[in-house]
Amino acid sequence: MLGLQGKTALVSGAADGLGEAIAARLAADGARVAVLDRSAEAIALSKARPAMEGVHFEQVDLTDADDIAAALARLADAGLAFDILVNNAGGSLHTPRAFVEETDEDWERVMNLNVTAAVRLIRAIVPGMVASGYGRIINLGSKAGRYGSLFTGANYVAAKGAVQSMTLQLAQEFGPQGITCNAICPGAILTPRVERLLNERQTPEERARVLESIPVRRHGTVEDVAAAVAFFASDDAGFITGQLLDVNGGQGMAS
């Protein structure tokens, strides 16, 4: 799979979880890949993985505008100009599921990571894509942003809804300049973090019922998500824009 040779990709929040699998898949497909992540520990572990060989890492807190600007300046100094941007960083940050228990701070933190970080990265990267007449922006939405969530709160659902609707608008705005913008909306992907959250917030019986509601009868893997991102990033997807792709084994359709 070398369909991305000659392309350069930036993936946010990608030293672990879905982002790391996405970065590894884009690299395997031939792209030069740079990763932004806050965790020095996750970066050290990720750097040591064979699948991440050759990937460039920048440590950055994506909720901090100055930090983002400094990291992007370092990447530009290293000669990296991006054809592909994957806004993967996000999550519910272990904030409460119950709406009345969510504080202003819970809303701000989740909005900052899921929405504002993506806005800042797109704003910084898009001018280069416009100049080259080519770009692929892929945002991580969620089943939560499409249908509501079984285990996270309204802050996360609203943040993913914002990411998804922004995707539609950017597809319209930048389509004439050769840039596509799509979103992937995964169902629960059983990373160790999500496994812990599900065990905390659902009984074994509830978990079994959820599994039964998924037509393909399994949860997704990070590779399932990475494969969908790689398709949107490829030249084969050049006529596809403004799409919100469910990667959830048919779960949304069934609920």
Stretch that binds ligand NAD, among 71-79, 89-97, 130-138, 202-210 (CB under 6 A): 89-97
Q: 22-41: which residues touch ligand NAD (CB under 6 A)?
A: 37-39
Identify the active-site residue in 156, 161, 167, 241: 156
CB atoms within 10 A of CB 40: 11
Find, among 253, 219, 252, the residue nearest to 143 by Cα.
252
CB atoms within 10 A of CB 158: 17
Q: Scanning the structure block, which residue is given the tokens 């959830």?
A: 248
Would you say how long the chain is, in residues?
255
Among 25, 71, 86, 90, binds ligand NAD (CB under 6 A): 90
Among 55, 89, 115, 233, binds ligand NAD (CB under 6 A): 89
| Residue whose CB is less far from ligand NAD, 88 or 182 | 88
Distance CA 166, CA 7 (A): 24
147 counts as catalytic: no
Strands (DSSP E) contained in 175-214 are: 179-186
CB atoms within 10 A of CB 32: 21
| Residue whose CB is less far from ligand NAD, 13 or 249 | 13
Find, among 59, 57, 60, 5, the residue nearest to 27 by Cα.
5
Q: Name residue 236's amino acid.
A: D
Q: Scanning the structure block, which residue is given the tokens 């048919």?
A: 250
Question: C-alpha angle with apex 140: 136 to 141, nearest 5 degrees?
Answer: 125
Instruction: Give yes or no for residue 16 binding ligand NAD (CB under 6 A).
Output: yes
Stretch that binds ligand NAD, among 15-23, 125-133, 167-175, 199-207 (CB under 6 A): 15-23
Q: 146-185: which residues touch ligand NAD (CB under 6 A)?
A: none
Report whether 151 contacts 202 (CB < 8 A).
yes
| Residue whose CB is less far from ligand NAD, 63 or 213 | 63
Among 3, 28, 30, 61, binds ligand NAD (CB under 6 A): 61
Among 10, 19, 34, 122, binds ligand NAD (CB under 6 A): 19
Tell me how many residues contact ligand NAD (CB under 6 A): 27
Known catalytic residues? 156
**Interface ranges with ligand NAD (CB under 6 A):** 13, 15-19, 37-39, 42, 60-63, 88-91, 113, 140, 142, 186, 188-189, 191, 193-194
